[in-house]
Structure 1
Amino acid sequence: MKFVIGAVIVVLILLIYTLVSRKRNAEEIDRLDMKKTELLHRPVNEELTKVKRLNMTGQTEELFDRWRTEWDEIVTVDIPAVDEKLFASEEQIDQFRFGKAKKTNAEIASRLDQIEKKVDGILTELDQLVGSEEKNRSEGEEMHARHRDAKKRLLAHRHTFGKAAPVLEVQLDVLTGRFEKFADLTEEGNYLEARELLREIQTEMDLMQHKMDRIPSLMTEVNHTLPAQLSEIENGYKEMKQDGYLLDHLQIEKEIGQLKEDLGRCRDFLVKTEVDETELIVSDARDSIEFFYDLLEKEVLAKHIVLKDEGETGLIIDGISEYNGKLMEETDVVKQSYHLDGEEAGVPRRLKEEIYHLEKQYEILHGRIAEEKTAYSFLYDELKDIQARIEELKKEQDGFAAYLQTLRKDEVEAGEELQSLRLRVQNISRMVKQSNLPGLPDYYRDMSEEASLHLNETNAYLNEKPLNMKAVREKLQTAKEEIDRLGSKTDELIEQAALSERMIQFGNRYRRTHPNIGPKLNEAELAFRHADYGKALELCATAIDKVDSKGLKKFDAQYKEEQKT
C-alpha cells in the first residue's frame, strides 16, 4: 500500500511540474511573439515615406536605400527566422522537452534584441534626417535674417567701425559664401552635412554679432576716452611737480608711455576685428588709469593732512610729556602712602622713555617736511604712525592715573568693609548672649577668637604705611570667610541648644511612667550644662525612643508647632 501511495505522489509531482513548466514556457512564447509583432508595427515605413518628400539625391538617397534594405532584411529574413524558432519552441513544449524549449526561447529573445537595436537605429537616423531638414529650414532663415541685418548695420553706421569696416565687410562676404554652400548641400539632399555647416555658421554669426556690438564702443575708448584720460593725468602730474610735489617714486611717465603703446596695439587689433584681445588691454588700461588717479589724489590729500596736522601733533606730544611729568610726581607722593609693585611703580618712567623716542621720531619727521625732499604720501604714513603711538601712550597714561585714584578708593572701601565685619561680629556676640546658653563649646570659643584675630590683622595691614592694598584685600577676604563660618556655626549652635533643652523637658514626662529613663535623661542634662548640646540631644533621643517608639515623632510635631507660634 505504501508503495502505491508513493507512486501516486511521484506521479502527481511530475504532473504538477509538467503543467507548471508548460504554462511558463507558453507564457514566454506569447511574450516573445508579442514583442515580434510590436517590432513589425514600428513606424519605419511611415518615416521612410516622409523621406521620399525630401530631395532624393546625394546623401539622402544613399541613406534611404540603406534603411529600406535594412528594413526589408528585418521583415523578410530576421522575423521569419524568429517565427521558425517560435514554432520549434511550441513543438518542444508539446513533446515535454522543457529544457530544450527554454534554451530556444533564450535564442529568440537574443535575436529579437538584435532586431530591436536595428529598428531603433533606423528610426533614430530617420528622425535625425527629417528633423535636420526641418531645423535647417527654420534656423537657416533666421541666420539669413541676422546676416542681412548685420550688412545693413555696417552700411548705415560704417563710420562707427573705422578702419575695421572693410574687414567686417569681407567677413560678412565670407559668410555669404557659407550660406551658398549650405543651400547647395540642402539642394543635393545632404541634410545632415548641411546641419553641421549651419551650426558652424551660427557660431561665426554669433562672433560677428559680438564684434559689431563691441567695436564701436572700443573704438571710442581706444581713440578718445582713454587717451584723454592719459593726457589729463599727464598734465596733472606735471602741474603737481611744478607745485613742489615729489612724484618720481610713482614712475607715472614711464607707465603712461607703456599704456600709449598698448593703445596703439589695440588700434591694430581693432582693424583686424580682434575684439577679445582688445578687451583685455582696455580693461587693464582702465584699471591703471584709475590707479593713477588714486595715487595723485592720495598725494594731494597727504600734503593737506601733513601740513595741517604736523604742528598740532607736536603740541600733543609736548602735552603728554608734561602730563607724564605730573604722573611721576603723583606716583612719588602715592608711594609714601601705598605700596606699589615694581612693574606698577615703573610705568611713568617707562612711558617717559617711550615719549622721548617719540619726540625724536617727530623731530626727524618735522625736518623731512621742512626739507621738502620726501613724497607727502611717505610723510603721511610716518605721521599716522606717530599719531597712533600717541593714542596708545595717552591710553596708558589715563589707565595709570585711574589706577592711582583707585588705590585711595579701595582703601576707603576696605575700611568700610572692615567696619561692617566688626558690626557683624558684635551682632553675633549679642545674639549668643540673648540666647542664654548655659555655656559655649571650646571649638566655638576658638572660632570666635580666630575671627577676631583676622579682623585685627586686617586692621593692622590697613594702617601700615605704605599701604599694600593687595595684602589688605587678601586679609579682608580671609576675615570675611571666617566670620561667615562663625555666623553659620552660631545659628547651628543656638538651634541645637534650644532643641536639646526642649527635648529634655519633653523626656521628663516619661519619668513617672518609665523610671528606667531617668539615668539617661540625667546624663543628657549634664551634657547640656557642659555645653555639649549635640551629645545631650543624642542621649535624650535615644532614651525617649527606647520607652516610646513614636515619642520622637510626637516631639518633632510639637516642636514645629511651637516654632510657628
Structure 2
Amino acid sequence: MLQVLIGLIIIAAIVVGGLYIFQKTTTNRVNDIKAKKYKLVELHVERELESGSKMSLTGESLEEFKQLQTGFDQIRTEQFNNIDELADEIYREVKGVNVIKTQSDVKMLDSLVTEAQHDVTQTRETLNDFKKIDQKHRQAVSKLEKKYQALRKQLLSQNFKFGDSIDSLEDQLSTLEDEFDKFSTLTTNGDHISAKDILAKLELNTNHLENLIKVIPDLYHQLESEYTDQLDELKSGYDQLVIDNFNFKDANIATEINNIETQRVAVLAKLSGLDVDAVKKANESIERQIDHLYELMQIEIDARPQVTEIMPQVSKFIIHAQNQNHELMLELDRLGQNYTLDHGELETARGLGEQIKQLEKDYQNDLNAIENKSAIDSSVLEQQQEALVQLEQIEKQQTEINDDVDSLQSDEHRAKETLRQFAIDIHAIKRHVESLNLPGLPKSYLEYFFVVSDEIKKLDSDINKIKINMEDITKQLLIVQSDLETLEEKTNDVKDSAQLAERLLQYANRLREDNVEVEVAVQKAQKLFDESYDYSASLETIATVLDKVEPGSYKRLEDNYYGK
C-alpha cells in the first residue's frame, strides 16, 4: 500500500512538474509574440501617415491615401486589440489544465501577429510609394519645364536648320507643352495617379521630338545643300563633257539629274511632315543615284586618254598581223606544192586572217565614231583592249604554224640522209652475210631481210614523190630504223649460231667414234646445218650432247669463241 502511495506521489509530481514547464514555456512564447506586436506599435505608422497627409493629395491619389489610412486604423483598432485580448486569454488559460486549447490559441496568436506584420509592412511600402511618386513627379515637372524651354529656344534660334519642318516641330512642341501643363497641375494638386499616365506619354513623345530635332538638321542639310551642290556640279560637268564630245552608254544623264532633283523636292516635303524614316531611305537612294552618275562620267573621263593611247597600238598590231598572215599564207602555198599539210595549217591561217579582218573592221568603226564625235570612250577602250588580247593570240598561233612548217625542208633533207644510210646499212648486212660462206640462210631470216628491204624501197619511193607527206615519212623512218636494228641482231644471231655450231661439230668429231650418242647427234646437227640452215637448232643439238658426254665443254668453247 505504501508503494502504491509512493507511486501516486511520484506521478503527481511528474504531472505538476510537466504543467509547470508547459505554463512557463507557453508564457514565454506569448511574451515573444507580444513583443513582435509592440515593435509594430513602436513604428508609429500613424505618424508617417499624418506626415503623408501633408502631400496635398487630390483625386484618385487622395482616395487611395484615405483607404490606406482607414486600413491602418483598422489594424490598430481591430488587429492589435484582437492580439491583446487573445494574449490575455492565453495567460488565463495557461493556469488551467486545458493544454490542447492553449496550444491552439498560441498558434492563432502567432498567426494574427504575422498577419499584422504583413499589413503594416504593406502600409508603409504603399505610403513610401506615394512619397516617391510625389517626389518623382515634382522633379519631372522641373526637368520637363527646363527641357521644353531649351527645345523652344533651339527651334527659335536655329529654325534655318529645319526648313519647312520647323512648323511641324513647333506644333509638336506646343502639344507637348499643353500636356505638360496638365501634368504640372495634377502634380501640384497631388493627383499622382492621373499624372502618372500623362507623364509616361510625355516622356515618350518628348524623346521622339528630341530625336527629330537631332536628326532633321543633317537630313535637311543633305537635301537642301549637299545634294543641290552635287546636282549643280553634275549638271555643269555634264554640260562641259557634252561640249567636249563625250558620250555615254545606256544613260541619259541630263534626264537622270532632273529626276533626282524631282525626288529631292519630294523628299523635302516628306521631311516637313516629319516622316524621318522615309526621308532616310529616300536620301540613301538619292545618294546612290548621284554616286552612280559621278561614276559614269568619271569612267568616260578616265577612258579618253587611254583610248588616245591604245588606238595607234592596235593599228600597228593589226598591220603587223596582216603582214604576218600574208607571208604565212605565201609560205604555206609554196610548201603545199611539195608537202602534204595534214594539220589544217591552211584552214587555220585563213581563219586567223578572217579574225584579223573583223578586228580591223571593228577598229575602223571605232575610229570613225571617234572622228564623228559619237564614240563612247569606255566602250571603245573595252573593245580595243580585247582586240589587243586577240591579236596577241593570233600572232602566237601564226608563229607556231610558221615554226611547224618551217622545218619541212630540213626534215626532208635529214630524211634523205637517213634513207641513204639505211641503204648503206642493209647493203653492208648483205655483204656480211655473204662473206660467211654459209650453205644457206634460214627462211625466217630471209623473210625479215626482204621485209626491211621492201620498207627501204617504199621509203625511197615516197620520199621522191613530187608532193611528200613528211609526217608519214617520219613514221616510216622510225619503223625502218627499228627494223634495221632487229635485222642486225638477227644477222649476228645467225653468224654466231653457225660459227659456234661448226666449232662444236669439229670438237664432237673427235668423240663420235667412241660414243654412239655423239655420233647420232653429229649427224642430226650436220643435217640441220647443211640442209635446213637452222643453225641455232644445230648448235643446240650438238651442245646438248657435248655437255652430257663432257660437262662444261660447251661453256668453254663458247667463252673461247666470244673471247672471254
What is the identity, as a one-letter code, of the residue corresponding to 1:401? N
- CA deviation digits over 1:3-43, x for unaligned, max 9? xxxxxxxxxxxxxxxxxxxxxxxxxxxxxxxxxxxxxxxxx
In structure 2, how many angstroms separate the alpha carbons of the residues matched to 1:520 and 1:209?
129
How far does residue 354 in structure 1 lie from its aligned partner after superposition? 5.5
In structure 1, how many angstroms separate the alpha carbons of the residues matched to 2:320 and 2:540?
77
Q: Which runs of 5+ in 2 are unaligned?
A: 1-142, 184-203
Q: Secondary structure at the match of 2:407?
A: helix
Identical aligned residues as a percent: 23
Aligned 8 A contact 2:546 2:554 in 1: no
Confirm whether residue 534 of structure 1 aligns to residue 536 of structure 2: yes
Q: What residue number does 1:463 align with?
A: 464
CA 491–215 in structure 1, closer or farther in 2 if over 3 Å, else same: farther
Alignment of 1:19-98 (within 5 A): none
How far does residue 292 in structure 1 lie from its aligned partner after superposition? 2.2
In structure 1, how many angstroms separate the alpha carbons of the residues matched to 2:440 and 2:288?
96
Larger radius of gyration: 2
Q: What residue number does 1:254 align with?
A: 255
Q: What residue number does 1:407 align with?
A: 408
- CA deviation digits over 1:269-298, x for unaligned, max 9? 777887765555454444433332332122
Aligned 8 A contact 1:428 1:487 in 2: yes
How far does residue 241 in structure 1 lie from its aligned partner after superposition? 0.8
CA 300–412 in structure 1, closer or farther in 2 if over 3 Å, else same: farther
CA 510–531 in structure 1, closer or farther in 2 if over 3 Å, else same: same
CA 513–216 in structure 1, closer or farther in 2 if over 3 Å, else same: farther
What is the identity, as a one-letter code, of the residue corresponding to 2:295? D
- CA deviation digits over 1:74-106, x for unaligned, max 9? xxxxxxxxxxxxxxxxxxxxxxxxxxxxxxxxx
What is the identity, as a one-letter code, of the residue corresponding to 1:338? Y
In structure 2, how many angstroms separate the alpha carbons of the residues matched to 1:220 and 1:499?
115
What is the identity, as a one-letter code, of the residue corresponding to 2:464? N
What is the identity, as a one-letter code, of the residue corresponding to 1:452? S
How far does residue 464 in structure 1 lie from its aligned partner after superposition? 2.7
Q: Secondary structure at the match of 1:244?
A: coil
How far does residue 240 in structure 1 lie from its aligned partner after superposition? 0.2
Aligned 8 A contact 1:241 1:247 in 2: no
Aligned 8 A contact 1:503 1:555 in 2: no
Confirm whether residue 486 of structure 1 aligns to residue 504 of structure 2: no
CA 248–424 in structure 1, closer or farther in 2 if over 3 Å, else same: closer
In structure 1, how many angstroms separate the alpha carbons of the residues matched to 2:442 and 2:430?
14
In structure 2, how many angstroms separate the alpha carbons of the residues matched to 1:208 and 1:477?
97
In structure 2, how many angstroms separate the alpha carbons of the residues matched to 1:491 and 1:208?
114
C-alpha RMSD of matched pairs (Å): 5.5
Q: Secondary structure at the match of 1:250?
A: coil
Alignment of 1:303-452 (within 5 A): 303-311=304-312, 313-340=314-341, 343-345=344-346, 355=356, 358-384=359-385, 387=388, 390-419=391-420, 421-422=422-423, 424-425=425-426, 439-452=440-453
- CA deviation digits over 1:164-201, x for unaligned, max 9? 9969x98xx9xxx9xx9xxxxxxxxxxxxxxxxxxxxx
In structure 1, how many angstroms separate the alpha carbons of the residues matched to 2:497 and 2:278?
100
Alignment of 1:271-290 (within 5 A): 280-290=281-291
In structure 1, how many angstroms separate the alpha carbons of the residues matched to 2:459 and 2:340?
16
In structure 1, how many angstroms separate the alpha carbons of the residues matched to 2:258 and 2:337?
73
- CA deviation digits over 1:526-547, x for unaligned, max 9? 32345312321443355457x6
Aligned 8 A contact 2:247 2:376 in 1: yes
TM-score (norm 2): 0.53
Q: Which runs of 5+ in 1 are unaligned?
A: 1-146, 181-202
CA 214–537 in structure 1, closer or farther in 2 if over 3 Å, else same: farther
Aligned 8 A contact 1:461 1:471 in 2: no
TM-score (norm 1): 0.53
How far does residue 344 in structure 1 lie from its aligned partner after superposition? 3.7
How far does residue 524 in structure 1 lie from its aligned partner after superposition? 0.9
What is the identity, as a one-letter code, of the residue corresponding to 1:237? Y
CA 500–308 in structure 1, closer or farther in 2 if over 3 Å, else same: same
How far does residue 446 in structure 1 lie from its aligned partner after superposition? 2.8
How far does residue 413 in structure 1 lie from its aligned partner after superposition? 3.4
How far does residue 518 in structure 1 lie from its aligned partner after superposition? 0.8
Q: What residue number does 2:87 align with?
A: none
In structure 2, how many angstroms separate the alpha carbons of the residues matched to 1:334 and 1:391?
25
Q: Secondary structure at the match of 1:413?
A: helix
- CA deviation digits over 1:454-507, x for unaligned, max 9? 223223322333333233223323322422332343344445446645655675
